[in-house]
């Protein structure tokens, strides 16, 4: 169904990177040309799960552990998961435990109350590498943007600029309002 562009020699392509290529055309081409599949790279490819499920004996579980589309397959084979690579998987919520409670089941206030000195290194590494540990600091954003906000208000609502609001259905005149028709 797919073919390589003219002048591209498939024997010169890097099989590992080609197998990681998430483009549907690349995955389909690899299905048609399995001799070019690098199973380590394919195990990382989120769009190649249908191929990997057909060939579970060829899966590289180290690389599969970082594949965000492989969570259901990883749950079926927890003994084959590489925890370091799993901690780098963007589809996984960090789950450091305290008394069997998972992080996603707790509130931020509960996490703050935990004795984090007792966490092991794997828990800290998993938490440190995951993008969901950050929240917006709205107070800091409000403080840093206050001068811009103040300047915008001063410029936009300066009496010389009130004519720009004519036709918006807003009555912004410095003269008394005319009487309403009855």
In the predicted structure, residue 59 carries a pLDDT above the cut 70: yes
**Which of these ranges, 47-51, 79-83, 96-100, has the smallest mean pLDDT?**
96-100
State yes or no: pLDDT of 168 exceeds 70. no
Cβ atoms of 43 and 20 within 8 Å: the answer is no
pLDDT category of residue 39 using cuts at 50, 70 and 90: very high
What the block records as the tokens of 16 is 């590992």
Percent of the chain with pLDDT over 70: 65
pLDDT at 125 over 70: no
Tokens of 151: 């300047």
Q: Which of 131, 129, 127 is nearest to 116 (CA)?
A: 127
Q: Please, which residues have CB within 8 angstroms of residue 111's CB and are 6 or more apart in sequence? A: 103
pLDDT at 99 over 50: no
Residue partners of 165: CB distance under 8 A and separation at least 6: 172
pLDDT at 164: 76
Of 14-28, 95-109, 129-143, 159-173, which gets the smallest average pLDDT? 95-109
For the chain, what are the domain ranges? 10-133
Query: Under a CB-based contact definition with an 8 Å cutoff, are residues 142 and 103 in contact?
Result: no
Check residue 106 and give its pLDDT.
47
- For the chain, what percent of residues have pLDDT higher than 90? 30
Is the pLDDT confidence value at 74 over 70?
yes
Section 71-89 average pLDDT: 87
């Amino acid at each position: 169904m797919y073919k390589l562009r003219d002048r591209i020699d498939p024997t010169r392509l890097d099989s590992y990177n080609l197998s990681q290529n998430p483009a549907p055309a690349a995955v389909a081409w690899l299905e048609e040309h399995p001799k070019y599949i690098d199973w380590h790279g394919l195990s990382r490819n989120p769009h190649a799960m249908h191929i990997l499920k057909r060939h579970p004996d060829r899966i590289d579980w180290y690389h599969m552990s970082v594949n965000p589309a492989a969570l259901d397959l990883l749950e079926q084979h927890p003994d084959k998961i590489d925890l370091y690579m799993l901690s780098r998987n963007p589809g996984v919520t960090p789950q450091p435990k305290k008394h069997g409670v998972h992080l996603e089941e707790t509130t931020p206030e509960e996490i703050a109350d935990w004795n984090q000195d007792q966490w092991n290194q794997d828990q800290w590494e998993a938490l440190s590498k995951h993008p969901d540990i950050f929240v917006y600091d709205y107070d800091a954003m409000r403080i840093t943007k206050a001068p811009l906000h103040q300047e915008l208000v001063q410029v936009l609502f300066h009496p010389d600029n009130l004519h720009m609001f004519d036709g918006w259905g807003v009555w912004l005149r410095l003269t008394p309002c005319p009487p309403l028709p009855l």
